[in-house]
Amino acid sequence: MIRSTVRFLDERSGGAPFLRKALRYVFPDHWSFLLGEVALYAFVVLVGTGIYLTLFFDPSTATTHYHGEYQPLHGLEMTHAYRSVVDISFKVKAGLLIRQTHHWAADVFVVAIVLHLLRIFFTGAFRKPRDLTYYLGLTMLALALLEGYLGYSLADDLLSGMGLAIGYSVLMSVPFVGANLAELVWGGPFPGTPAFWSRMYVAHVFLFPLLIATLLGAHLLLVAARHHTQFRGPRKTERKVVGVPTFPGQTPRSLGLMSAVTAVLFLLGGLVQINPIWLWGPYHVASGTNGAQPDWYLGWLIGALRLVPGFDVTIGHYTLVPNPFWGGALFPLVVFGFLWAFPWLERRFTGDHAFHNLLDRPRDAPWRTAIGAALFTWVALIFLAGSADRVFVTFFVSYGWQILFFRIAVWVVPVVVLLVTRRVCLELQASERVERERELAEEEARRAAAPEPVR
């Protein structure tokens, strides 16, 4: 059976030599190398559940009055888009499970990408020859954020409408061309023409997934072409990679991880309620709800929008830069720009242009680790500021004081983290050096004390 299948395929594709090599491709082992795979499998679940949802979703802004099964929305005016999402939740059997799994998969997809990015950054895996792989990964992260935002917006519930209004305002705030861009995307002033919904829809279900999938393919090809990185260890050198082969060693592990990711997502999808749009109600330009938030992965932007003090840059009666630009556009551009530039910056400052297949431990590169920790702290603080209102409701900590605290902390704490992290790295290095010297000295002493070895 096996041999005849192989023969059949090889005689038609000539792929046997390639496949044989591929099956013995070596995977170095460390648990953190699997984080990227988690993201990959979340993406697979996203595509699968997403295709199912497209079979029921209606991207139309034509209005209707609801008279379906769910009583509390009876008689309310809403768009077909919103209505179809309510129907997916209540009328389509298993529809709510798939919808919630899709949403959880989106949330977990970005969690996995961020964890993967942290691993790559702090171990220096982005260095030559893998900088291109790293750029592709960063671009996919940016695309994933936009793709998630589009999905969140399509449902046309109260939260998604408010989110779109904010997105529109951020685009409007871009100097020189903001208004023109917003007009192009929305087809006119907010809330735009009906065509806007089909534009979002085609972007969400076709353009962005296609882009992400293409970059994902390139990302994986580059990984395979250059092989995985590995931590320093016995027999592991810049020239030799040590690990288990694709088959039989790695295959059941990867399939097991894929099943585990799918399991977690379906369990969440069935057991934990996410984005209950039937509770938010439909969106109208004139309505709003307290504490409107984007999905977590855009929380850093709402934090930034809330932290920036109230001012527009103006000359006389001309507005030059409206306020949302700082938090909504410049801030993410700075973060992504810095991450993009980092491999180049590091090469420039360290003068290290060499190939690297061996990973650094975070302590091995104190500056990189310190800068990474500071950047992460900066973004995390601004992210936390985005939920200050809920913190106030739950823990009675004054919102005004929190905002004041964060406005100072975002400038002070990262600097402290930078210095402390660098110091800790250096101390760790030093203690290792001392340890090694002591071992050497003991060895020496033992050898001196021991009688001449018999040959």
Partner 1 sequence: MRRLLAVAAVVLLAPGAAAAAPSGSGLYAENCLSCHGPGGSGTARGPRLRGVGAIAADFYLRTGYMPLLSPGDQPTRRRSPFTARQIDALVAYVASLGKGLPVPRPHPERGSIPVGLRLFTEHCAGCHQVVGEGGYVTGARVPPLEQASATQIAEAVRIGPYLMPRFPRTQISDRQLDSLVAYVQWAKHPDDRGGWAIGHIGPVPEGLVAWLLAGTALVAVCVVIGKRNEA
Partner 2 sequence: MRALWRYLVAAVVLLLGRGRRPPRVERAERIVPAGEPSPRAELLVLALFGATAACAVAFVVVYAVESIPHQTQFLGLSLGLAFAFLAAALIVIASRLVVTEELEEDYPVPAHPAEQEALGQLVEESGDRMTRKRLLLVGGGAAGAALGAALVTPALSLGPAFEIAPFFRTPWRRGVRLVDEDGRPLHAHDVLEETFYTAYPEGADREQLGAPIVVVRLRPAELHLPAGRDGWAPHGIVAYSKICTHAGCAVALYRKPTFPTVEPRPALVCPCHYSTFDPARGAKVLFGPAGRPLPQLPLFVGPSGELRAAGNLSGPVGPAWWGVRNRRPS
Please, which of residues 334-373 interact with partner 2 by CB under 8 A?
355, 357
Measured CA distances, 61 to 80, 198, 426, 444 (Å): 6, 9, 59, 81
Instruction: Choose which of 62, 213, 221, 267 interacts with partner 2 (CB under 8 A).
Output: 267
> Cβ neighbours of residue 391 under 8 Å, at least 6 residues apart?
397, 402
The secondary structure of 193-212 as a DSSP string is -THHHHHHHHIIIIIHHHHH
- Beta carbon of residue 45, minimum distance to partner 1 (angstroms, whole number): 12
Confirm or reject binding of residue 30 to partner 2 (CB under 8 A). no
Exposure b/e, 349-368, CB count within 10 A at least 16 = b: eeeeeeebbbbbbbbbbbeb
Nearer to partner 1, 44 or 274 (CB): 274
Residue 231 binding partner per list partner 1, partner 2, none, with a CB distance cut-off of 5 to 8 Å that depends on partner kind: none
Rounded to whole angstroms, how far apart are CA atoms 127 and 122?
A: 11
Residue 74 near partner 2 by CB under 8 A:
no
Q: Is 446 helix (H, G, I), strand (E, B) or coil?
A: helix
311 lies in the binding site for partner 2 (CB under 8 A): yes
Q: Which does 420 bind (CB under 5 to 8 A by kind): partner 1, partner 2, none?
A: none
178 binds, among partner 1, partner 2, none (CB under 5 to 8 A by kind): partner 2
226 touches which of partner 2, partner 1, none (CB within 5 to 8 A by kind)? partner 2
According to CB under 8 A, which one of 12, 14, 75, 93 is a site residue for partner 2?
93
User: Using the rule CB under 8 A, is 169 a contact of partner 2?
Assistant: yes
Regarding 235 and contact with partner 2 (CB under 8 A), the answer is: yes
- DSSP β-bridge partners for residue 157: 282
Q: How far is the CB of 402 from partner 1 (least distance, A)?
A: 10
Instruction: Kindly tell me which of 32 and 139 has the beta carbon lying closer to partner 1.
Output: 32
Among 35, 150, 155, 305, binds partner 2 (CB under 8 A): 305
Residues at the site binding partner 1, with contacts judged by CB under 8 A? 29-35, 38, 70-76, 89-90, 96, 100, 104, 107-108, 111-112, 115, 158-159, 244, 253, 256-257, 260-261, 264-265, 268, 270-276, 278-281, 286-297, 299, 387, 389-390, 392-393, 396, 399-400
Give 46: exposed, middle or buried? Use CB within 10 Å, 0-12, 13-18, 19+: buried
Partners of residue 210 on adjacent β-strands: none
| 340, 38, 221, 204 alpha-carbon torsion, rounded to 10° | -70
Q: Which of 69, 312, 352, 435 binds partner 2 (CB under 8 A)?
A: 312
Q: Return the range that interacts with partner 2 (CB under 8 A); candidates 215-223, 251-259, 341-349, 406-414.
A: 251-259
Using CB under 8 A as the binding rule, the residues of this chain from 95 to 134 that contact partner 2 are: 96-97, 100-101, 129
How far is residue 133 from each of residues 26, 38, 196, 216, 223, measured CA to CA in Å?
A: 18, 17, 34, 10, 7
x/- map, 366-405, partner 2, by CB under 8 A: -----------------------x---------xx-----
Exposed, middle or buried by CB within 10 Å (0-12, 13-18, 19+), for 374?
A: buried
Give whichever of 380 and 403 is closer to partner 2, judged by the CB atom: 403
CB-count exposure of residue 328 (10 Å: 0-12, 13-18, 19+): buried
**173 belongs to the binding site for partner 2 (CB under 8 A):** yes
Taking the CA atoms of the chain, what radius of gyration do you get in angstroms? Answer: 27
Where helices occur in 91-232 by DSSP H, the ranges are 95-122, 131-154, 158-172, 178-186, 195-202, 208-226
